[in-house]
Amino acid sequence: MIRSSEPADVSEGVRKLIAKAGEFMQEKQGVVTDYGTPCHPSCIVYMGGGAEQHGVLQKDIGHVWGGNAEYIRFYQMELSGEDVSLRGADGAALSEEEIHAETDEMFSQTDIFSSMNRLNLFFILDTSYIENAESFEIWYKSVVAAKRLFATVSRTALILLLNESINQRSAAKSCRQFLKKYWEENNKHLYDSVFILSSRLSSGASFTPKPGEVCRDHNLLADIILLANTSGPELQPRVGTLYGGGVAFITAAYSSMQKPTEGIAKLILSRIFEYLEEEKEKLKNTSLGEEELLSALEVSPTKFGIFEDFYKSAIAPALPDGDCLNYLPVQSAAALSKIQGMSFDELNRETLGSWENFYHENFLQVSKEIFEGGDGQEAFKNRLKKQLFGKVKYPRLMDGIKDKICEDVFKNICRAYQQNSGSAKALRSAGIRLREKAVSALKPAYKSALEEARSGAQEYESCFESVYGEFAKVKSVGKAGVFQALEAYYSKIADNLFRAYIFENAGQENRFLYIKSGDFAQEILDYIFSLFKEIVEANRSILSQSLYNGLRAANINAGELIENELVSGIRDKIRFSSNFAFPDPAAQIYMFSSNAALVEWLNKSRGNIVASPDYFSSGRQDLIEMILIYRCDANLL
């Protein structure tokens, strides 16, 4: 069944194509140069909800810890009164014994974790799931029971994802008020540290998150966990900054610069679309001649290949076999031994016309029901259409095939079966006669196939233009900041890579110009994505260039761009909003793959807010992050 797609389907398909291409580019970047090692065994515990987001968090942690990230545990916590229970990664409820076994297993991994003197517990609580202060208090205090459940010396952190969108503002205010009151009454928390990351920024800007998405800035949530638990000489000073020590809560400002992999993917996709547009335009208005149609349909002087396949699969199985001749009445017993070698006419004379009657009833009539019936006509038409789509480039079908050529080709087809069958053996002669009748009867299917091939080609063309048009609408979206700076540089790279690929892989456009049966839009999108993947795979070494080196190679003032995109305005990006002034940041941390030139520039940067910035080697060449840590008093709540 051939069908086109609705406009909404095309728009969604193009959006998915761009997203898939960007993700594929990201996967093929080779962004990590050196994986870090987690210090302590760790568990991430989602309180009440949000566990469905864990895959994203674990992936971000894995960017730094590699396969080691798979050894940390994550749980969904549930409450029943004052009782705490946990579910594992598969959603199954865990007994206390099973939790102990999993904890023991982590503490046996001495080649994964560098220190075994405690368990790090990170509790993530999204206030999207909180109704009021009473509900928050229950969850806040559940850490006591949770620590007993793990039965191990632990260091705890509550990461509060504060949803302060209008619909959740009341619940968020209750949470803030509870924390303020608890701190003022106890001068400490039940946790070793409380982080608050709000959907409302210090500038007053906000966003309305979905549950589990309050911490939407790339991998800020993962960064907190990584900074608090990645082995190295800088870990202890970081722990001193990130855990309690006399402050009511900790929050952070975050900004990042990422290599625009999706933007680069769009440049390559754009070149593919342009190329396909050029190739198909070359073939428009080129008529299909008689010899080309005969060749496409596999017509020779003695047979019609597609019909033969149809005959063998649809007609021949319904016909009697050679043994049927032995049951015909004959004039003499001596004829029985010669019956298989007789011609059609000889056998008919010997059987006094019984063979002719038998042929009409058991060969011709049976096969007519197939090739003259609707199902047979439809099946043969679809075979012809599929053959045309597979053998003729679709732009050449769009104007249709001239009537005279259609008729002349059909005469050639019929002529292949208008042979003298008188001297052939009876069964073979029956087959020849039957084929001649069938071919003539299938002429309506032949004409329908040619017409539907024309309309199908036009529909395919319309679908391509629709897909291309949707791509054109969105290809320029997001051209700001880093991508805007690098667009000209990567446009030239994309064009050079594409030209080289097509030169080395001549004929690649044929996969696009020959139609398959199915969803036209999806067929086009799948082809474009497959070509995109091949180009990226063939040029990974060029396309995996680091962000910083790309900026340098493009002759862009990397320092100025970093200052504008990463450093400037970061104080407006504190993930918390308060009527009171924030203290000076306790730490300024840069996260990226080790790069001496970049470190040297950042050390001299006017954007440094603290005297001695901290550099965390995330191993990622495609991402530069900047985090300011704020240790805040209760009055900001």
Q: What is the mean pLDDT of residues 344-372?
A: 83
Residues 308 and 219 in one domain: no
User: Rg of the Cα trace of the chain?
Assistant: 37
Residues 424 and 557 in one domain: no
Residues 205 and 310 in one domain: no
- Residue 633 CA to residue 247 CA, distance in Å, equals 5
On the question of pLDDT at 241 being above 90, the answer is yes
Q: Any idea what the CATH number is for the domain that residue 82 is in? A: 3.40.50
On the question of pLDDT at 3 being above 80, the answer is no
Residues 236 and 303 in one domain: no
Which of the four pLDDT bands, split at 50, 70 and 90, describes residue 2?
very low
Please count the CA atoms within 13 angstroms of the CA of 399 that sit on its side-chain side. Answer: 9
Token pair in block for residue 607: 């954007």
Domain boundary among 406, 433, 458: 458
**Residue-number span of the structural domain to which 166 is assigned:** 38-250
Query: Residue 327, Cβ neighbours under 10 Å: how many?
Result: 9
Q: What is the DSSP string of 586-630?
A: SEEEEEES--HHHHHHHHH-TT--SSS-EEEE--BSSEEEEEEEE
pTM for the predicted model, two decimal places: 0.79
Q: How many domains does the chain have?
A: 3
Q: What is the mean pLDDT of residues 36-56?
A: 87
Question: Alpha-carbon dihedral of residues 338, 341, 344, 349, nearest 10 degrees?
Answer: -20
Q: What is the mean pLDDT of residues 489-512?
A: 82
pLDDT at 13: 92
- The residues that bridge with 589 in the sheet, in sequence order, are 614, 627
Is there a domain that residue 33 lies in? no
Which amino acid is residue 478, in one-letter code? G
Is there a domain that residue 105 lies in? yes
Cα three-residue angle 229-230-233, rounded to 5 degrees:
110
Residues 89 and 215 in one domain: yes
Of all helices (H) and strands (E), which one includes residue 16? helix 7-27
pLDDT at 192: 95
Greatest CA span in the chain, whole angstroms?
121
Q: What is the DSSP string of 513-543?
A: HS--SSBHHHHHHHHHHHHHHHHHHHTHHHH
pLDDT in tens, 429-467: 888 888 888 888 888 888 998 899 899 999 999 999 999
On the question of pLDDT at 178 being above 50, the answer is yes
pLDDT at 572: 92
Per mean pLDDT, which of 310-324, 509-523, 539-553, 614-628 is the most reliable?
614-628
- Residue 131 CA to residue 119 CA, distance in Å, equals 31
Token pair in block for residue 253: 């400002």
Query: Residue 479, Cβ neighbours under 10 Å: how many?
Result: 12
Q: 498, 267 in Cβ contact below 8 A? A: no
Is there a domain that residue 385 lies in? yes
Q: Going edge to edge, which strands form the sheet with 623-632?
A: 93-94, 83-87, 73-80, 42-47, 119-126, 154-162, 193-198, 249-258, 623-632, 587-592, 614-617
Residues 235 and 332 in one domain: no
Residues 176 and 310 in one domain: no
Per mean pLDDT, which of 135-144, 406-415, 417-426, 561-570 is the most reliable?
135-144
Residues 190 and 65 in one domain: yes
pLDDT at 97: 94
pLDDT at 422: 47
On the question of pLDDT at 480 being above 80, the answer is no
Residues 326 and 398 in one domain: yes
On the question of pLDDT at 243 being above 60, the answer is yes
Is there a domain that residue 20 lies in? no
Q: What is the mean pLDDT of residues 61-81?
A: 89
pLDDT at 1: 42
Which of the four pLDDT bands, split at 50, 70 and 90, describes residue 576?
very high
On the question of pLDDT at 209 being above 80, the answer is no
pLDDT at 34: 64
Question: Alpha-carbon dihedral of residues 338, 343, 347, 349, nearest 10 degrees?
Answer: -120
- Residue 470 CA to residue 467 CA, distance in Å, equals 5
pLDDT at 328: 83
Query: Residue 506, Cβ neighbours under 10 Å: how many?
Result: 8
- Residue of 268, 264, 263, 275 whose CA lies nearest to 502: 275
Of 29-43, 115-129, 239-253, minimum mean pLDDT range: 29-43
User: Strand, coil or helix: what is 570?
Assistant: helix
What DSSP state is assigned to residue 424?
Answer: S
- Residue of 470, 479, 477, 455 whose CA lies nearest to 525: 470
On the question of pLDDT at 211 being above 70, the answer is no
Q: 189, 243 in Cβ contact below 8 A? A: no
Is there a domain that residue 407 lies in? yes
- The residues that bridge with 86 in the sheet, in sequence order, are 77, 94
Share of the chain above pLDDT 90, in %: 33
Residues 224 and 306 in one domain: no
Q: What is the mean pLDDT of the chain?
A: 85
Of 60-69, 288-297, 328-337, 346-355, minimum mean pLDDT range: 328-337
On the question of pLDDT at 575 being above 90, the answer is yes
pLDDT at 180: 95
Of 17-31, 174-188, 282-296, minimum mean pLDDT range: 17-31
Of 266-280, 320-334, 460-474, 579-593, minimum mean pLDDT range: 320-334
Domain boundary among 458, 488, 510: 458
Which of the four pLDDT bands, split at 50, 70 and 90, describes residue 477?
low
Is there a domain that residue 114 lies in? yes
- The residues that bridge with 299 in the sheet, in sequence order, are 304
Of 127-131, 305-309, 423-427, 437-441, minimum mean pLDDT range: 423-427
Give 473-480 contacts, CB < 8 A, sequence gap 24+.
Answer: 474/14, 474/15, 474/18, 475/266, 475/269, 475/270, 478/260, 478/262, 478/263, 479/263
pLDDT in tens, 543-563: 888 888 888 888 888 777 888
**Residue that the structure tokens 């638990």 belong to:** 229
Token pair in block for residue 310: 């149809």
Cα three-residue angle 348-349-352, rounded to 5 degrees:
85
Token pair in block for residue 561: 């761009």
Q: What is the mean pLDDT of residues 21-39?
A: 76
Is there a domain that residue 282 lies in? no
Residues 313 and 240 in one domain: no
On the question of pLDDT at 397 being above 70, the answer is yes
Residues 429 and 367 in one domain: yes
On the question of pLDDT at 540 being above 90, the answer is no
Is there a domain that residue 440 lies in? yes
Q: What is the mean pLDDT of residues 198-215?
A: 76
Which of the four pLDDT bands, split at 50, 70 and 90, describes residue 44?
very high
Domain boundary among 458, 474, 491: 458
